[in-house]
A and B are shown apart, each in its own frame.
Chain A
Amino acid sequence: MSEITTRDSGATPDHGHGTPDGVDPEDLARPLYEGPGALPAADIPHRPRRSDFDPKAARRAERQVAALFVLSMLMFILFCVGYIAIDPTTAVYIPTFGEVGAQNFVLGLTLGLGIFCIGAGAIQWAKKLMPDVEVVQERHPLTSIKHETVEAADQYERGKEESGFAQYRIIRRTLIGAMALLPIPALILLRDLWTSKDGGFGPSPTELLSTTAWVEGMPIVTDGTYQKLRPEDIPVGGLVSALPEDIMEIQEEEHNLNARGKAAIILVRMEPGEIRAQQGDGWDYQGILAYSKICTHVGCPIALYEHRTHHLLCPCHQSTFDLADAGNVVFGPAARRMPQLPIGVNEAGFLVARAPFAEPVGPSFWERG
């Protein structure tokens, strides 16, 4: 076993160049490199393992490691069998894990165990058969030795001098100017992340966020079946999710769900006497009230309605609105009431919007005011 080659104080430095001027003698006391071969063992208590002195135990450990690797091979073969032989649609009941896909279960089990066994084998090998004697290595200060620092500073100064960075003031300033302008084109390039269909000057974000598909006389249809609604379709205490009648046409035309995301409403019915306040006089129809479905907090759709208290609860952050009291916030993080849609019936007796929403629906935004 060889020792680490160090330049201990007292020993003559043997680097063949003599001490250069300006070199800190302390720097020379550091080990230059660690010699080849093993490291010194740490002088700490150590119990030999059974496999260290008992050849039988060592052979047993060898067999264990090999067995783990064999098991791993077996698992990989079983994985291939499972991939080919098992019908992906069959389910199987595994106690404590419930109903799982049979193929997923077998593939996971075989691949997982196969890979696990490689690792377990390697660790067992290291723990039982490789030397478990802890060794010592010295740390070396990370700080550069003094003459390196001096040299680096010199080189930097010389470079600065040669470039004339300090001397040519106009070059320096114009370079700074050019670098300062560089981010502008990069930012400008991001502008077309959003353009309106007609190539630029369409409606502003504020306008878009402030309008919905609801217009005067727009019939109200149910979400899902798109049937027009009559007042008698909604029982007292009931809640119906609804949309404007032309929502599907708009979606076809715009190829997106944006209109749906703004126009979704809920209809609730209560005894007219239970309505304490509304956002406009007579905006209900015989106790049927229409409110936006999109939470004013961060925009989750709301449909948790407690018909005895008339509270509407958002499932995302638990903002609570009182629909009998003009949709005002009674609890939670939402700051604004739910916008109300004035409704009535048309000549045919179907529920319709009497006007668009009077305020923007959904979460707040800077320009909302």
Chain B
Amino acid sequence: MSTTEKIGGSVAAYVDDRVGSNRFLTRSLKKVFPDHWSFMLGEITLYSFIVVLLSGVFLTLFYKPSMVEVIYDGSYVPLKGVMMSEAYASTLNISFDVRGGLLIRQMHHWAALIFIAAMSVHMFRVFFTGAFRKPREFNWVIGIALITLGLGAGFSGYSLPDDLLSGTGLQIARGIVQAIPIVGTWGAFLLFDGEFPGTEFISRLYGVHILLIPGLILALITVHLMMVWTQKHTQFPGPGRTNTNVVGYPLMPIYMAKAGGFFFVVFGVIILISGLVTINPIWIFGPYTPDQVSAGSQPDWYIGWLDGALRLMPNVETVLFGYTISWNVFIPSVIVPGIVFTVAAFYPFIEAWATGDKRDHNLLDRPRNAPTRTAIGVMAITFYLLLFIGGGNDIIAITFDLSINSIIWFLRIAIFVVPPIAFVVTRRICLALQRRDREKLLHGYESGRILRLPHGEFIEVHEPLPAKERAVLESAIESYRAPLPAPAKLDANGVRNKFYRLQILRSKLSHWYYADDIKPPTREEIEAGQAHVAHDAALEAPLHDYEETHFVNVPFHGGILHEQGAPMTNKQQLEARGGNL
């Protein structure tokens, strides 16, 4: 035993005596994590959040959250001698006078954008593969809370430099708060310490941005990951993968090296982007003043859809008993996001209830095998994209030389028409893909080779599916569910069913979800079908013999590895190597 090992051993023993860590380690170090590129989306989210935290701590060392007016005297010449808030002056100082400050500021901004982007795509991955189903519903809800907090973190951070663009964002935020019925006016006065812009808001927002929101995000991420740990990661269907096992790489060493390495890759890429691509050049916008604005004011991308909703809303305002309700602001900026996030948070429970599915799901759905869910997801994305386009309508109008009024009118109608179309089209595509999968399972895949049989019949040779593809396609059996039967009005004893109406609704929803799904063949049918295919393909064998002996029998040396026949299985290789991995 080497000295290092001895020291390591005694440290482990020292810690174990005090916290019992070895028991945890024996179970954890060999914990298995399934591998798939889409599982990296959650990792990117986590790693970019760590970058945000690290760079954010650096920024707090130099940033001054104060709206006190000062005269700028830094090294950025165009703004020398200009009156500005201390917040803006210190942000300029970070950008121009602190060495590496601009890099860290841009890292903070880029990492925040990547954080929210990765989180959103991760959410859709989880949605489309049904990873939110039992037992993972709570983690989905936590995820939605994290996205909401992420938006809050982004917006509050965007507002801190107190440049002209961020101040305009705050002015809009104030307008939105003021539009909330009954409590809005007082709410706005309390938040801003009086009228806009006041002198307190930046320092109040600072506390929210650097303590409250990151604290909550950190706490929720911890719970999120602990649940992933306890419940074990879901996996995509494949050979040897079932609903009750995990197939993948053990934490120590492979997953640790890969995931740990990937952290550095994400970190490195964010720094590279921050060194090369300018983000939020606040020195161009100038200090904030409430009577100026620049044309083409755009929020960060993740607020774009909300800004789009605000732009598309028709100008409805009512005065009732002497009180004003600004529907034109309240609906798009409070009601719409409220509904979107609430429905998103409850979706796993809605689907579970509507479909009566109480099983555990550790094997992921292929999106095509849940056509209605997939169609709902695409509908949501379409809705989001239309609002997002609305948020950039001025840019689109200028770029494509269109009338802004016609863009808005188009979107006002499209927001109700296009998402349902997207729903229907997606569902159709999924069902067609299901049909093709069924076809493949029963008849193998078309080889494109036509064979003439001795008695004159022409057949196209079908090939049996490779083991991997077959296992993937067979997952349709696991995913398939028959719709719930219609409930009975009276039970067996003739007693009136008290929940009849509710059960009718549920049965209808279940039909909506499942009635059109293509029933996959049973395992016996697949077995028979594939055997038949193999038999057909065998008809070709004499031809191959002929070809091989006379023409084709030329050894191939082009690739890295060329082996005859199917690759060995893990087990075969282990046996061949005497059990050494």
Docked pose: A177 CA to B135 CA in angstroms: 37
Find out whether the CB atom of A108 lies under 8 angstroms from the CB atom of B231.
Answer: no
Find out whether the CB atom of B289 lies under 8 angstroms from the CB atom of A317.
Answer: no
Within A61-111, the residues touching B (CB, 8 Å) are: 83, 88-89, 94, 97, 100-101, 103-109, 111
Find out whether the CB atom of A123 lies under 8 angstroms from the CB atom of B262.
Answer: yes
Known contacts A44-B240, A119-B264; A264/B291 CB under 8 A: yes
B271 to chain A, nearest CB (A): 3
Determine if B405 is an interface residue (Cβ-Cβ < 8 Å).
yes
Find out whether the CB atom of B247 lies under 8 angstroms from the CB atom of A134.
Answer: yes
A151 to chain B, nearest CB (A): 21
Q: Which residue of A lies closest to B404 (CB)?
A: A318
Chain A 237-258, CB-CB to B under 8 Å as 1, else 0, gives 0000101000000000001111
Determine if A29 is an interface residue (Cβ-Cβ < 8 Å).
no
- Chain A residues contacting B178 (CB-CB under 8 Å) are 363-366
Determine if B6 is an interface residue (Cβ-Cβ < 8 Å).
no
- Chain B residues contacting A367 (CB-CB under 8 Å) are 185, 323-324
Known contacts A243-B291, A264-B290; A34/B27 CB under 8 A: yes
Comparing B292-300, B416-424, B518-526, the segment that makes contact with chain A is: B292-300
Known contacts A44-B238, A363-B326, A364-B179; A100/B276 CB under 8 A: yes
- Chain B residues contacting A264 (CB-CB under 8 Å) are 290-291
Determine if A142 is an interface residue (Cβ-Cβ < 8 Å).
yes
Docked pose: A360 CA to B484 CA in angstroms: 59
Docked pose: A209 CA to B270 CA in angstroms: 45
The 8 Å CB contact of A130, one of B184, B253, B290, B574, is B253
The 8 Å CB contact of A142, one of B135, B184, B277, B468, is B135
Find out whether the CB atom of A364 lies under 8 angstroms from the CB atom of B249.
Answer: no
Determine if B250 is an interface residue (Cβ-Cβ < 8 Å).
yes
Residue pairs across A and B with CB atoms within 8 Å: the count is 363
B312 to chain A, nearest CB (A): 8
Within B196-253, the residues touching A (CB, 8 Å) are: 196-199, 230-232, 238-240, 243-250, 253
Q: Which residue of A lies closest to B570 (CB)?
A: A41
Known contacts A135-B32, A142-B135, A301-B291; A115/B573 CB under 8 A: no
- Chain A residues contacting B239 (CB-CB under 8 Å) are 42-45
Known contacts A45-B568, A47-B567, A333-B314; A318/B323 CB under 8 A: no
- Chain B residues contacting A272 (CB-CB under 8 Å) are none
Q: Which residue of A lies closest to B180 (CB)?
A: A366
Determine if B60 is an interface residue (Cβ-Cβ < 8 Å).
no
Find out whether the CB atom of B315 lies under 8 angstroms from the CB atom of A125.
Answer: no
Comparing A163-171, A281-289, A291-299, A345-353, the segment that makes contact with chain B is: A291-299
Find out whether the CB atom of A41 lies under 8 angstroms from the CB atom of B571.
Answer: yes
Find out whether the CB atom of A88 lies under 8 angstroms from the CB atom of B96.
Answer: yes
- Chain A residues contacting B581 (CB-CB under 8 Å) are 38, 41, 131, 133
- Chain B residues contacting A141 (CB-CB under 8 Å) are 360
Determine if B485 is an interface residue (Cβ-Cβ < 8 Å).
no
- Chain B residues contacting A336 (CB-CB under 8 Å) are 317
Docked pose: A194 CA to B249 CA in angstroms: 57
Interface contacts beyond A108-B276, A126-B261, A137-B246: sample of 20 additional A-B pairs, CB < 8 Å, sorted by A: A36-B26, A46-B567, A103-B99, A103-B100, A104-B275, A108-B275, A116-B265, A120-B264, A123-B257, A126-B253, A133-B573, A137-B232, A138-B246, A256-B67, A257-B197, A297-B328, A303-B293, A366-B180, A366-B184, A367-B323
Which 6 residue pairs of A and B lie closest in terms of their CB atoms, listed nearest first? Answer: A108-B275, A116-B268, A298-B175, A119-B264, A122-B261, A261-B290
Interface positions of A (Cβ within 8 A of B):
1, 33-34, 36, 38-39, 41-48, 50, 83, 88-89, 94, 97, 100-101, 103-109, 111-123, 125-127, 130-139, 141-142, 190-191, 193-194, 196, 205-206, 208-209, 223, 241, 243, 255-258, 260-262, 264, 293-294, 297-304, 315-320, 329, 331-336, 362-369
A-B contact pairs, 28 of them (CB 8 A): A1-B574, A44-B247, A44-B468, A45-B569, A47-B563, A50-B561, A88-B97, A89-B96, A94-B276, A97-B277, A109-B272, A112-B270, A115-B267, A116-B272, A119-B267, A119-B268, A123-B261, A127-B258, A130-B253, A132-B249, A133-B574, A139-B245, A206-B185, A264-B290, A364-B326, A365-B188, A366-B180, A367-B323
Interface positions of B (Cβ within 8 A of A):
26-27, 30-32, 35, 67, 69, 75, 96-97, 99-100, 102-103, 106, 135, 168, 171-172, 174-176, 178-186, 188-199, 230-232, 238-240, 243-250, 253-254, 257-258, 260-278, 289-297, 307, 310-317, 319, 322-326, 328-329, 332, 360, 362, 393-394, 404-405, 408, 467-468, 560-561, 563, 566-571, 573-574, 579, 581
